[in-house]
Structure 1
C-alpha cells in the first residue's frame, strides 16, 4: 500500500462535499498537471490511502483520510465538449487525463494547518513543501505516521 496527499480547493470540492456523496465515495477528477496525472495513471492503486488536503483557501491543511477504490482510468469529462474539463486533443484511444475513485475513511476533528505541518521534524522533507503546486504527491510511511499522530 502506498500513501498519498490529494489537494482540492474546498470551495470547489471539500471533505464536506465528499462526506455528502452517496456512500461517501466519488470520482477524483479535474487533474490537469502531467506529473499528478502520471501518479493517477501509473502509481495510485486501489487500497492506497490518501490525505485530503484543502488548498488555495484561508485555512490550508489536511482535513482527513480517503481510500482509493479504483485503478486509474480515463477521466470522462475530457471527451465531453460541454464540460469544463474538455480537452479537444484527448481521444478515447489516447486519453490525456486520468482519475480514480475515492471513499472517505475519516474526517479529522480539526484541520491540521500547513503552518503546523511545517514545524514537524519528521515532515521536513515532504514533497508537499518542495512541489507546492502539485495536486497529488506521495507521502512516506514516516510522514503518514507523523500526520496520524497530529490528527490524534
Structure 2
C-alpha cells in the first residue's frame, strides 16, 4: 500500500529497546498472553507535527480505497509487539484520542498481518528512524479495514467510571489496558472486556 500523508504515533520519542524476555522452548517465541481483540488509537482532529497533519479518524479510514489503510507511524516497542501478534480477521476498536471527547467510535478488522513500516526509511517523514535498516527493520505495521460504526459513541469518561467501579468489584473492565497501559496507541483487549464493551452500545446514556 502506498505511503499516506497522515501519520500516527505515541506521544514522545521512540522508547529504548526493551530487555529480552524469557523465550518459550516449544514455540521459540517470547512468552506472552495470546490476545484476539484490540484497541487502536488515532486522532480525528487536525494537529500539525513536523509540518504534517496527523489527523486520521474513522471517517478518514472510510474514505480510503476499499476502506483499508495501513496503520503506520507506531514508535513504541510494546505497541509494535502487539501488532506483530495480530492475525487476519481479528477485530479492534477504533478509538478517537487527543480530542475534545475521546472514546470508542467503531470497529475495524485486521486484513494484513505485521510487515515493515515504510515511514521508518523515509528521511522526509516525521517518523524516520536513521537506526532502522531495511534488512533489519525496527518498526512494523498492519493493515486494517473499516467494519462498522458503533451504535453509539462510547466516551472515555464512561469507561473510566466503569473501570473505577470494576477495580473494586472484580468486574470485566477491572484491568482494562486503556487505564493500565494508557500511553499505548495499540492495546490488547480480552474477550471478556470486548463482550462487555460491546454490550454498552445498546445502553442509552
Band of TM-score, shorter chain: over 0.9
Equivalent residues in 2 for 1:13-28, closer than 5 Å: 13-28=56-71
Aligned residue runs from structure 1 range 48-127, under 5 A = 48-120=90-162, 121=166, 122-127=172-177
1 CA distance for matches of 2:109 and 2:134?
27
Q: Matched residue of 1:72: which SS?
A: strand
Greater share of helix residues, 1 or 2? 1
Identify which of 142, 149, 152 aligns with 2:199.
Answer: 149
CA RMSD of aligned residues (A): 1.2
Matched, 1:6 2:48: no
Asked whether the equivalents of residues 118 and 124 of structure 1 are also in contact (C-alpha less than 8 Å), the reply is no
Residues 39-71 of structure 1 deviation map (CA, whole Å, 9 limit, x = unaligned): 112x11111110001111111100100000011
Distance (Å, rounded) in 2 between the aligned partners of 1:80 and 1:125:
38
**Alpha-carbon distance between aligned partners in 1 of 2:137 and 2:201, rounded to the nearest angstrom:** 38
Q: TM-score, normalised by structure 1?
A: 0.94
- The number of aligned residues is 151
Structure 2 regions of 5+ residues with no counterpart?
1-34, 46-54, 167-171
Distance in structure 1 (CA, Å) of the matches to 2:196 and 2:61: 24
| Bigger Cα displacement from structure 2, 115-124 vs 137-146 | 115-124
Q: Tell me, yes or no, if the aligned pair for 1:66 and 1:104 is still in contact at 8 Å.
A: yes
Q: Does 1:128 align with 2:184?
A: no
Structure 1 unmatched ranges of 5 or more: none
Which fold has the larger relative contact order, with Cα–Cα distance below 8 Å and residues 6 or more apart in sequence?
Answer: 1
Per-residue deviation, 1:105: 0.5
State which drifts further: 120-129 or 101-110: 120-129
Higher alpha-carbon Rg: 2
Aligned to 1:37: 80
